[in-house]
Structure 1
Amino acid sequence: MPQSKRLEEFKKLVTNKFYVYNSLFLNLPYRNIENIGVMIPLLFYQCEKGLQAGLKPQEILDHFFENYAEISSEKDKIDFMFRIIQYVERQVVLYDSVEDAAFPKLHEYSTSRSIRDYFQMVDKTKNWNAISKQLESFSARIVLTAHPTQFYTPAVLDIIEELRQLILEDKINDIDVVLQQLGLTSLINAKKPTPLEEAKNIIYILRNIYYDAVGELYSYIKANVHKENFVNYDILKLGFWPGGDRDGNPFVTAEITKSVADELRITLMKCYYNELKRLRKKLTFKGLQKPLNQLQDQLYVAMFDAGKALSFDEIMAPLKEISEMLESRYQGLYSEDLEKLMDKVSIFRTHFATLDIRQDHSKHYQLIEQILLKQGIVKESLSEISDKKLMDILLHKEIRLEEKDFDDEIHQDTIRNIKQLKAIKAKNGEDGCNRYIISNSEDVNSVLFVYALFRWCGYAPEDISFDIVPLFETMIGMERSEEIMNTLFSLPEYQSHLTRRGQKQTMMLGFSDGTKDGGYLKANWSIFKTKETLSKVCSKHGYKAIFFDGRGGPPARGGGKTHRFYAAQTRDIANNEIQLTIQGQTITSTYGTKEQFIHNSEQLLTAGLSNNLFGKEHVINAASRKLIEELSQLSYEKYDALKQHPKFIPYLENKSTLKYYTKANIGSRPGKRGQKAKLELSDLRAISFVGSWSQLKQNVPGYYGIGTALNTLVEQGRLSELKKLYKEVPFFEALMLNSMMSLSKSYFELTAYMKDDPEFGAFWELLHEEYELSKRMLLKISNFKILMENEVVSRESVKIRENIVLPLLVIQQYALYKISQEASNRDVYEKIVTRSLYGNINASRNSA
């Protein structure tokens, strides 16, 4: 379908409806200030016009207060700004709801490939044997993470769902009532959520969306795959980090992990119970009542009593008995409905989603050092013994660990948690918890420390039924990964471990910290090359390489268009499974409704399968690789120079919202690693780092260095090479398109006043020059007239969202200015900055 037609449909289904329903906000029940909604369009116009004219945010707002709002007292101005923030937050919720409601209809006009399209392609090639074989072995794992950059409370999620349904039916009066409800409902947490509360928020989505969505997708594949008795219950798996991810979060304890595992299992039992209850209305035949009653009673107990865990066989046995009786005695009536429940039980078993454990390598290092100190093997530090001797200790020495023997709480908890994992598996099944991920893996000990800790916590080697997953996220980690894996694969003990784990090695590649460390192009190219290298290493040693991608929401955290990313992989990268993290706003924006979840899950499957099946695996030739390498190095040098700039960290600390992320009640995890007084880049969380650049509308991690790299080659007369690279190499095109999205969301006019700042003016100019250069260069190599030229719907969505939050951003900058001037109401202005984070974060959800 022509892009103009898609845009026309988007404007009808989203833009126009949003503006109609947005007019209902004029009557929202705010106290103290009347007609706040009437002021919003006027404020937006003044902000846009003022910024374009080069006015400072404080000049724009002071002019607005005096000439339009007729507010003179500081108290009233502050009150007004808080009301604007509340109003804008709710506009974002409304826009989310309208866009979600339009998704099924807009999808009809999409050019993306669904499973249905995929099957039609197979029909044309008559290649059903190949496709059925691939579908029986292929798998995609969607891992929901503990990085809540956008988690509405369940109450607000319910409102969004209600609005979505009413918008689909155009029930304007009912919409008016629900919008009033929204006006009176708090959108933010009164206090920081605990890790358990975070987990429950996501489990809410598992129960209300993913349980049915995964079942529906599986049923469709099974019915259309042209193979009798098709079985692949792993074709779409769910993973879960909240409650298991300890990296930088001291609030995740062994008790939390146990509680989250119980919550996952208990919630799944509720799903089974409710579906069985609905099915019973059809299965009214006398002979079925005994097994039905028995199973319903067992599920009822299991969904309330965490101590009464049902096994997979205990659930499946009565269902099989009922199935056999339906076929033999009741003409197979309703057997299809029963089969759908049995398929779900086979998919989710007793775990719902696999709970991953993650911890930073440094924490294991500290614990191992303490253990060897207590054993008298070292006197002060691990550096006293050789690598060979340490490896021998880790693989062979027998030690018995007790948490009471250690003073440090994290050391105690690490031991306690590893010991309890057996019990979690006993309740939730083999897939309940079977991976241990090590952040910042930069040497072979990152894996061996964990292997040793399992042994020393009472596991015999043959009982370590866990994949030990190194996370290579820094430049150093990626550079050393080949040597690390070669060393591991040469160890007889680790070989035996992998044999027990099915001859597979899972390796995680992290985007967030890679981008922060090496810049956008260097990080992505390094990850790409690392995957190719590790694929060869695994193949050489006879192991199946499984890559787990740490993908965030915006491109700067490894996000962007997921289908585009996987479709651009080369044939030199192992394609046995697709595994990726779904972070923050991406959970609600890309997988937040059943229709979105199914569509985007299909995109993962078709991207992973299409290359193999239709022989379109990409190859990057030597000349193209050399060119990307050259660009990667040039962009890295530019980005690294920025990192080393003496004003880099001070700029983030003094001119951005960085310090306010820790004050916002968004997530349970601290905003940075460690307790150092002086802020260092390595301590910064990628979310707060990338988010701070986003709040400034500068989005530096998503493109910085690309403009300089491209321009260097253009000045050498190599523009034609770059255009050819963009046109012929999907991987490079995908990166450049993602950078265009980052640039599209940048708006340097918001902070243009900083160019006159005596301390940071030159630094701001440095950022602005690279932004302008990157924009020019990307348009030049793509032959586009505007950024995101071929993504009209995404471009329009970005534009509307950016417009919604512009007044909020100007207020944020105004408050930051007041704080810098040591205003008497400093605490209040700090609250304004913190509160203004939410709306902008939520509005940016369409970044993946």
Structure 2
Amino acid sequence: MQPAMSASLAVGNLGLSSYALEVNQALLKEDDDLLRQTFLSVFKEHHPQLANKVDVIFALAQAWCLSESDSDFELLEKRLEALTPDESILVASAFSQLLNLHNVTEESITARVEKAARLGEVEASTRSTNKSLQRLVNKLQVRPEDIYAALCRQTVDLVFTAHPTQATRQSMLKKYGAIRHAMDRLHNSRLSNYEQVETLDEIRSHIQGAWRTDEIRRRKPSPQDESRQGLTYFHETIYSGLPVFLRRIDTALKNIGQPALPLDAKLFSFGAWMGGDRDGNPFVTPETTRDVVIGARLSAVTLMTEQVEKLMYELSMWRASPELKARALAVEARHAAGADGEFLETKKNTYDVVFMSINEPYRLVLSDVRARLHRTKDVLHHCLEHPALNVAEALEADPEAYNDETELLATLRLCYDSLLSTGDVHVASAHLLDVLRQARTFGLFLCKLDIRQESVKHTEALDAITTYLGLGSYKEWDEARRMEFLVQELNGKRPLLPPDLPMSAEVEDVVGTFRMLSQLPSDSMGAYIISMSHTASDVLAVVLLQKECGVKRMLRVVPLFETLDDLNHAETAMRQLFSTPWYAAHIQGKQEVMIGYSDSGKDAGRLAAAWGLYEVQETLTKVADDFGVSLTLFHGRGGTVGRGGGPAHLAVLSQPPGTIRGTIRVTVQGEVVEQQFGEKESAFHTLDLYTSAVLEATLAPTQQPPQLWRDTMAEMARASCEAYRKVVREDARFVDFFQQLTPVNELGRMNIGSRPAKRRSHGSIDTLRAIPWIFAWTQIRFHLPVWLGVGEALSSMIQAGKLELLQDMFTNWMFFRVTLDMLEMVFAKADPRVVKMYSKALVDPSLEPLGDELLAKFEDTERALLTVVKHSRLLSSSSTAFLQQKLQLRAPYVAPLNILQVSCLKTLRAIEGGTSVESLVPSDFQPSEKALALMTRGDTKHPFVAGIEDAMIITMKGIAAGMQNTG
């Protein structure tokens, strides 16, 4: 039997002593009060008459959240419905700002707790890498040499995606980040009275700046915009933070008697989907992909140039190895031979030329590196200005430019080895070591771009080719015929793709993408992800298209299995692939497979999807072992629980034992990017969690669950899936109910992402993306995709007399414990009263019985859950007290936004239904010039309609902020 999981791993627990918990609860309340009062004073300066209304609304919201009284709710609703459109905008924005400021307080407190844990002042909520090393050595008796070897082989690949779940504008995020830094100084520094006043003034300034900034995106971001936003995290936290983290790993290794990580170790790598994810996104074109690759390379070159210039000032030593002196002499000889133009170019690019001579060989060598980096940047800018240029060829053709990091690394290593040879070990192990590690991790590409496309698009492209050549219709062939054709063509030498092939727009885009890949530097490219993968031929089709379009160093092809049926058929597809001699030789013993949490959950419900994902990982690992293939699993997790989200450490450790073997890829999506990498302390903590969890999962996996637990889980998954689909797929009322109850059809107005909400314009739930599916239910605080079906599954076991079995599973099985802990947290965030309000105001009376049925299921599921976890009420355990406080503090901010959202939706839908605007406009609606400017902001709509629409969008953003940071 597996030992019981420590309570310190429970969701929401900070691992604090009762005293420390009380202190942090008090600080959270104190900080929340400070930022709220500061904001309200700013609000009052600009809107003195409305400020009193906001005070009253907040007080009424607090009263309702505490009393749950219908009369309190009616008072609150009446106050909010009496607002004019311009007042609705300001009030919605006020509560949205308050929620974002509350998030700042939580992030600040969390960062302080994490820092205190590293200082040993409190117990850490999760294991740091240092503690993991100590546990592995002292408790589990793992040899330090084996730990060192495992860490040297370990790589965690974090992939930033453009999935549109970050509702807050980048401009606002930066201001909130500045407030968070100021709050940290207020708490963590010994400030004089003057400095305290100055810090409080700074906080007030940033709050005012955020308030006076338009929080609505007035246009959809382009994929290039999304890429640029993603790259800011590298500039601000990741690039500089990673080498600091690696130094601390060196120290942790030293504590167990092991040397520092070798220079070629790569604990982390980074990828991106922004500008490469074309699955259902018509705005991601071949030209888009080219732009974002060049943009990422420009960022990488800029960051590396800054580091090299710092090294030039630091490495002023005259002693050097013969090899380095020879390199310095060669650089000096080039200058002396009359290459003045080159030297002047260096001066022009830097403005701060250090006088260099052979007596300072390091500076001389590094000046050449800097000049080449500047030249590389010039070539990249030239490629941006001339879209027809082949980027890879342009870099290769210029002998002064770097086309990859190989020569750069060699020169830095030359400097490093030279310092070691002259006895300057401490100098070598200082900043130069950091730059070497940055060059190793980020190269001159910064993050590798994945390409993603739906499998059917490749099928259509091949069908166009085979039909044109008179070979028949590829689409109509069975799997055996397709595989035979693909292998034959891959083995063949003749070109398959005719130059005069007539192509539809979609086929042209597919072929154009592959042709563009042949023109981009190969080190910038990551994997080619095939969404909606079903068969082995889906993979070989992409390999063949790469070959035919001239991709010399082919991207590794990664099938993405998403729906429950696809997960069940993944084994067949991969066995067939590994059994194909050509493919087995092609992959050279390495394969990556992606599993999708979002679409599997949308397809089958969270519980059934979780078990399906658990089983498929075991199955795929066994298949890979059978063929001697090293498998890396790519986890396509979202931020919310409904899309596989949860604490990173628990997410890794709750995977099936034996499926993580030193490598893992994970998506970092939407708001999670900001949460994990928006601040240096958070970024460090994220890297620490992943390193620790993957190391433990590799060297000390949990025990296999007993067969009885597996059988029980499988039975519950079947029951859950059946109950979920009975509602979502089989109930004819459901689609209309969903569209009326939630703002799913209005989400597109938020402009939070570049891609459409649906893969195709027609269809319903099946074609709707998982993100708007989850986002819509989150807005009304019902979270249906997470819990629907779970109640029937748990209740069937309880009624069968298996309650003690479930409780044993909950206590002793990490996977089951994390699943139910996440579910309990989601129930704590939900509010049936809010759902009833939406239903009463927005849903056709004929559909109300379905709403009543779902609310009854919600209550039944909550009761069953509490019975299994042995809690009297939600979040009643001591380990979740801090999380409970977070939710309680948020509730009075979120409630007014829900009420305003319902009112706005009701009005806008009436207009869309044919009701004239004039009949809805109050007779006393005579907005001032200032109010008109607020409502229209250049919009040509009727001011009343424009104002209501803006208010609705702001409520969506505010509610999204209210649901963040708590799982």
**Same-fold call, TM > 0.5?**
yes
Is contact 2:89–2:948 with CA below 8 Å preserved after alignment?
Answer: no
Change (3 A) 1:383 1:303: closer
State the Cα deviation string for residues 40-71 of structure 1 (Å, max 9, x = none).
342134346568334798x55662158xxxx6
Q: Larger Rg: 1 or 2? A: 2
Q: Does 2:279 align with 1:279?
A: no
Q: Could you tell me which amino acid in structure 2 is paired with residue 184 of structure 1?
A: R
Q: Larger relative contact order (C-alpha < 8 A, sep ≥ 6)?
A: 2
Superposed displacement of residue 2, structure 1 = 4.8
Deviates more, 1:572-581 or 1:40-49: 40-49
Q: Which residue is 1:334 aligned to?
A: 427
Residue number among 842, 857, 869 corresponding to 1:782 in the alignment: 869
Structure 2 counterpart SS, 1:377: coil
Change (3 A) 1:121 1:38: farther
Q: Could you tell me which amino acid in structure 1 is paired with residue 754 of structure 2?
A: S
Q: Which residue is 1:155 aligned to?
A: 171
Change (3 A) 1:92 1:300: farther
Q: Which residue is 2:19 aligned to?
A: 5
State the Cα deviation string for residues 340-396 of structure 1 (Å, max 9, x = none).
111111121122111111101121122222222212222xx5454343332222222
Q: Which residue is 2:125 aligned to?
A: 111
Q: Could you tell me which amino acid in structure 2 is paired with residue 172 of structure 1?
A: L
Structure 1 counterpart SS, 2:530: strand
State the Cα deviation string for residues 420-444 of structure 1 (Å, max 9, x = none).
2233234xx2xx2131110011222
Q: Which residue is 2:272 aligned to?
A: 240
Q: Which residue is 2:535 aligned to?
A: 443
Q: Which residue is 2:695 aligned to?
A: 609
Change (3 A) 1:691 1:234: same
Deviates more, 1:586-595 or 1:698-707: 586-595
Q: Which residue is 2:618 aligned to?
A: 532
What is the percent sequence identity of the aligned residues?
Answer: 24
Q: Does 2:682 align with 1:668?
A: no
Residue number among 421, 431, 443 corresponding to 1:349 in the alignment: 443
Is contact 1:30–1:183 with CA below 8 Å preserved after alignment?
Answer: no
User: Cα RMSD between the aligned structures?
Assistant: 2.4
Deviates more, 1:116-125 or 1:361-370: 116-125
Residue number among 396, 409, 419 corresponding to 2:515 in the alignment: 419
Q: Which residue is 1:120 aligned to?
A: 134
Q: Does 2:654 align with 1:568?
A: yes
Structure 2 counterpart SS, 1:424: coil
Residue number among 285, 291, 312 corresponding to 2:405 in the alignment: 312
Superposed displacement of residue 594, structure 1 = 1.8
C-alpha separation between the residues in 2 aligned to 1:455 and 1:126? 46
C-alpha separation between the residues in 2 aligned to 1:6 and 1:642? 45
Superposed displacement of residue 805, structure 1 = 2.1
Superposed displacement of residue 407, structure 1 = 3.8
Change (3 A) 1:283 1:468: same
Q: Could you tell me which amino acid in structure 2 is paired with residue 247 of structure 1?
A: D
Q: Does 2:827 align with 1:708?
A: no
C-alpha separation between the residues in 2 aligned to 1:754 and 1:319? 62
Is contact 1:554–1:847 with CA below 8 Å preserved after alignment?
Answer: no
Q: Could you tell me which amino acid in structure 2 is paired with residue 302 of structure 1?
A: T
Change (3 A) 1:199 1:576: same
Superposed displacement of residue 821, structure 1 = 4.3
Change (3 A) 1:809 1:389: same
Superposed displacement of residue 38, structure 1 = 4.3
Structure 2 counterpart SS, 1:582: strand
Superposed displacement of residue 99, structure 1 = 2.5
Residue number among 762, 770, 780 corresponding to 1:696 in the alignment: 780
State the Cα deviation string for residues 518-541 of structure 1 (Å, max 9, x = none).
001100100100111111111001
Q: Does 2:211 align with 1:183?
A: yes
Superposed displacement of residue 320, structure 1 = 2.9
Residue number among 291, 294, 304 corresponding to 2:365 in the alignment: 291
Q: Which residue is 1:845 aligned to?
A: 964
Deviates more, 1:25-34 or 1:503-512: 25-34
Q: Which residue is 2:350 aligned to?
A: none
Superposed displacement of residue 282, structure 1 = 2.3
Deviates more, 1:829-838 or 1:1-10: 1-10
Q: Does 2:813 align with 1:725?
A: no
Change (3 A) 1:506 1:298: same
Q: Which residue is 2:487 aligned to?
A: 395
Q: Which residue is 1:559 aligned to?
A: 645
State the Cα deviation string for residues 262-285 of structure 1 (Å, max 9, x = none).
111111111111222233332234
Superposed displacement of residue 625, structure 1 = 0.7
C-alpha separation between the residues in 2 aligned to 1:402 and 1:434? 28
Q: Could you tell me which amino acid in structure 1 is paired with residue 537 of structure 2?
A: N
Q: Could you tell me which amino acid in structure 1 is paired with residue 461 of structure 2?
A: L
Residue number among 902, 925, 930 corresponding to 1:813 in the alignment: 902
Q: Could you tell me which amino acid in structure 2 is paired with residue 819 of structure 1?
A: L
Q: Which residue is 2:462 aligned to?
A: 368
Q: TM-score, normalised by structure 1?
A: 0.92
Deviates more, 1:323-332 or 1:284-293: 323-332
C-alpha separation between the residues in 2 aligned to 1:21 and 1:189? 25
Q: Does 2:407 align with 1:323?
A: no
Q: Does 2:151 align with 1:135?
A: yes
Is contact 1:403–1:416 with CA below 8 Å preserved after alignment?
Answer: no
Q: Which residue is 1:44 aligned to?
A: 58
Q: Could you tell me which amino acid in structure 1 is paired with residue 258 of structure 2?
A: K
Superposed displacement of residue 81, structure 1 = 1.0
Superposed displacement of residue 651, structure 1 = 1.5
Q: Following superposition of structure 1 onto structure 2, how do residues 443-842 of structure 1 map, counting pairs within 5 Å?
A: 443-459=535-551, 463=552, 465-499=554-588, 503-613=589-699, 615-643=700-728, 644-676=730-762, 679-753=763-837, 758-788=845-875, 789=877, 790-822=879-911, 824=917, 828-842=947-961
Structure 1 counterpart SS, 2:667: strand
Structure 2 counterpart SS, 1:483: helix
Residues matched between the structures, number = 824
Superposed displacement of residue 826, structure 1 = 5.4
Q: Could you tell me which amino acid in structure 1 is paired with residue 376 of structure 2?
A: A
Structure 1 counterpart SS, 2:748: coil
Please, which runs of 5 or more residues in structure 1 have no aligned partner?
none
C-alpha separation between the residues in 1 aligned to 2:409 and 2:306? 16
Q: Could you tell me which amino acid in structure 1 is paired with residue 375 of structure 2?
A: V
C-alpha separation between the residues in 1 aligned to 2:311 and 2:425? 14
Change (3 A) 1:91 1:458: same
Change (3 A) 1:588 1:48: same
C-alpha separation between the residues in 1 aligned to 2:882 and 2:61? 25
Q: Could you tell me which amino acid in structure 1 is paired with residue 109 of structure 2?
A: A
Superposed displacement of residue 3, structure 1 = 5.5
Q: Which residue is 2:250 aligned to?
A: 222
Q: Could you tell me which amino acid in structure 2 is paired with residue 143 of structure 1?
A: V
Deviates more, 1:233-242 or 1:2-11: 2-11
C-alpha separation between the residues in 1 aligned to 2:526 and 2:39? 49
Superposed displacement of residue 21, structure 1 = 2.0
Q: Does 2:184 align with 1:100?
A: no
Q: Could you tell me which amino acid in structure 2 is paired with residue 536 of structure 1?
A: K
C-alpha separation between the residues in 1 aligned to 2:625 and 2:38? 61
Superposed displacement of residue 13, structure 1 = 3.4
C-alpha separation between the residues in 2 aligned to 1:560 and 1:133? 29
Q: TM-score, normalised by structure 2?
A: 0.81
Q: Which residue is 2:501 aligned to?
A: 405
Q: Which residue is 2:184 aligned to?
A: 168
C-alpha separation between the residues in 2 aligned to 1:22 and 1:406? 62
